[in-house]
Amino acid sequence: MGSSGGAGKDTVANYIKDNLFNGRAVKHALGEPIHELAEQFAGDKVQRHHLQDLGESIRSIFGHEAWINLLDEKYGSIDTPLIIPDIRKLLEYSHYCIEKGFKPLYVYTDPEVAKKRLKDRDGGYNEEDLGKNSERQMDFLQEYGREQFPKRFVTQLNAPYPFSEIYVIDNSGSLQDTYRQLNEWWELIHE
């Protein structure tokens, strides 16, 4: 999960897959089929609002669990660890982190840092798109305090269950800082 577009969810997921699982995991975004479909119609001109509107339209036609069902159908029976970088809704959190036991990780990034990343990566952003529900549904997590671990930089939400299971990394700084927090998180969940 991430605090916004540009938070670094894919960067974090790639590091977990390549370095912590040593390449022995699968990374698949819930939004991957949305990107593929949008690119068929808009080519390289796909914008964030296209993806948001398409994703929500599919949900309104086929049900709120449409993207969950598609991902589960594709990967439901594999023995390889699955990394999902783009859990953005409470329903997705409930399904994967509570029902299926996935380890939740929230990637926090200072909003100004995230906007700069979006500008650098995508050539810009629309403030209205960043405020849509698909971008902001999990923002309430930022209202909870964080528990600091001794001699560690990774934190954990100080929240009631089931949100108390969420570890938080701050991806506002350097990649090395992020990787250090990810290594700490990995150690904590394997204690």
Q: Per-residue pLDDT for the chain (191 aa), expressed as one digit of tens each?
A: 888 889 999 999 999 999 999 999 999 999 999 999 999 999 888 888 899 999 999 999 999 999 999 999 999 888 999 999 999 999 999 999 999 999 999 999 999 999 999 899 888 888 888 888 888 899 999 999 999 999 899 999 999 999 999 999 999 999 999 999 999 999 999 98
Give the pTM: 0.91
Q: What is the pLDDT of residue 126?
A: 83
Q: Per the domain annotation, does 160 fall within a domain?
A: yes
Q: Per the domain annotation, does 36 fall within a domain?
A: no
For residue 35, count other CB atoms closer than 10 A to its CB.
15
- Residue ranges of alpha helices (H) inside the chain are 9-15, 32-42, 48-62, 66-75, 90-93, 111-122, 127-130, 133-136, 175-189
Q: Per the domain annotation, does 61 fall within a domain?
A: no
Q: Per the domain annotation, does 88 fall within a domain?
A: yes
Spatial separation of the C-alpha atoms in residues 187 and 14, rounded to whole Å: 18
Range of the domain at 98: 9-28+82-189
Strands 82-83 and 26-27: parallel
Domains in the chain, number? 1
